[in-house]
Amino acid sequence: MRYGSTKKILVTGGAGFLGSHLCERLLEQGHEVLCVDNFFTGARRNVAHLLDNSSFELMRHDVTHPLFVEVDEIYNLACPASPVHYQFDPVQTTKTSVHGAINMLGLAKRLKAKVLQASTSEVYGDPEVHPQPEEYWGRVNPVGFRSCYDEGKRCAETLFFDYYRQHKLAVKVVRIFNTYGPRMHPNDGRVVSNLIVQALKGEDITIYGDGSQTRAFCYVDDLIEAMMRMMATGPEVVGPINIGNPGEFSIRQLADLVIELTGTTSKIVSRPLPPDDPRQRRPDITRAKEVLGWEPSVPLREGLTKTVAYFQQLMRE
């Protein structure tokens, strides 16, 4: 499906896992793409296959500093999204969410451009409501180890809505739930990549607690489709809108499936639960179905098979 006429589109965090897939899709649609990344978690290899495309430009830049470019639309994806990375420098993580949002909103205001914020299910914290609808305000620890990311993203949403109300800016906010697929960082500490890498190396497979905590896993292609549909909506659609897969699996179920797909002889071992780790996480995607006409289509087994193949190739290189 094609979304609108040809545009010059800025993707911050464009060399990251999600950003690289988004850049690819936008180029397929015939758009010009400016990919901006500081390469803290993004990697040049994720977009190396796009560099020969005359409609693609790669720029090293940190969104905590102002950016002066001319574009029609902005997808703001810049921010480390895994605990290993966002806890490495928590102050910088908060700056990336907050200063990055301010800079991208300022750019959008100057250009009268449409701007989409890639927010997160982490704004719901360790939820008391299940599944999580957009109306739920969340249960977040403001002073914990995950707060730099959770509260940074919550503040970014506040800024987007204040720019919308105060400056009539065309903003879009999506809340992304667990997403997986090729180009995930092998050392990002996220559960899908963790389990696959451990299995392929023949190491013990680590789960936390008894593995009964649940997550909903969305394959990257489905997620990117939802983001592009959101950007293509009219000015009356602001969000926030949950995008993710409502299929709920326990971490233990995921580990068992990874063992099956990799054929590993690895054993599952249990470690203590980290602080503020949510017990349940599943999106209510009613709004996405109604407003975007979207729901995910890739089953977990199919998506994991593709993801395992990617990591197998990566480990052979």
Kindly report, residue by residue over 182-226, the tens digit of the pLDDT: 999 888 778 899 999 999 999 999 988 888 888 899 999 999 999
3-state secondary structure of 286: helix
Task: Concatenate the DSSP letters of all residues of 111-160 into one string.
Answer: HT-EEEEEEEGGGGBS-SSSSB-TT---B--TTSTTHHHHHHHHHHHHHH
| Contact in structure between 192 and 48 (CB atoms under 8 Å) | no
Reference 227, options 64, 34, 75, 68; nearest CA is 75
Instruction: Out of 149, 163, 180, 219, pick the active-site residue.
Output: 149
Active site (annotated) includes residue 3: no
- What confidence category does residue 3 fall into, taking pLDDT thresholds of 50, 70 and 90? low
Identify the pLDDT of residue 141.
Answer: 86
Q: 196 lies in a domain?
A: no
d(CA 220, CA 17) in angstroms, rounded, equals 9
Q: What is the pLDDT of residues 16-49, one digit of tens each?
A: 999 999 999 999 999 999 999 999 888 999 999 9
- Quick one: 163 exposed, middle or buried, by C-beta within 10 A (0-12, 13-18, 19+)? buried
d(CA 251, CA 274) in angstroms, rounded, equals 14
Q: What is the mean pLDDT of the chain?
A: 92
Q: What is the side-by-side order of every strand in the sheet holding 32-37? A: 56-60, 32-37, 8-12, 73-76, 114-120, 171-176, 241-243
Q: 106 lies in a domain?
A: yes
Identify the pLDDT of residue 84.
Answer: 67
Q: Distances from the Cα of 289 to the Cαs of 53, 286, 293, 303, in angstroms?
A: 34, 5, 5, 21
Reference 12, options 46, 84, 60; nearest CA is 60
Q: 110 lies in a domain?
A: yes
- What confidence category does residue 130 fall into, taking pLDDT thresholds of 50, 70 and 90? confident
Q: What is the pLDDT of residues 76-94, one digit of tens each?
A: 999 877 676 677 788 989 9
Q: 203 lies in a domain?
A: no
Q: Which amino acid is at 291?
A: V
Mean pLDDT of 56-63: 97
pLDDT of 121 above 80: yes
Q: 149 lies in a domain?
A: yes
Identify the pLDDT of residue 230.
Answer: 98
Mean pLDDT of 123-149: 89
Residue 285 carries which DSSP code? -
Identify the pLDDT of residue 185.
Answer: 86
Q: How many domains does the chain have?
A: 1
Domain carrying residue 72: 8-179+218-245+282-298
The enclosing domain of 82 has a CATH number of 3.40.50.720
Reference 290, options 62, 98, 134; nearest CA is 134
Q: 253 lies in a domain?
A: no
Phi-psi category of residue 13: left, alpha or beta, with phi > 0 → left and psi -120 to 50 → alpha: left
* Structure tokens belonging to residue 34: 């400016």
Q: 175 lies in a domain?
A: yes
Helical residues (DSSP H) of the chain, grouped into ranges: 17-28, 44-47, 83-86, 90-111, 147-167, 191-201, 220-231, 251-262, 286-292, 300-316
Q: What is the pLDDT of residues 142-187, one digit of tens each?
A: 998 888 889 999 999 999 999 999 999 999 999 999 999 999 988 8
Label the pairing between strands 248-250 and 214-216.
Answer: antiparallel
d(CA 200, CA 266) in angstroms, rounded, equals 9
Identify the pLDDT of residue 2.
Answer: 53
Identify the pLDDT of residue 210.
Answer: 86
Identify the pLDDT of residue 211.
Answer: 87
Identify the pLDDT of residue 4.
Answer: 59
Task: Concatenate the DSSP letters of all residues of 11-32 into one string.
Answer: EETTTSHHHHHHHHHHHHTT-E
d(CA 33, CA 20) in angstroms, rounded, equals 11
Angle between helix axes 147-167 and 90-111 (nearest 10 degrees) is 20
Q: 79 lies in a domain?
A: yes
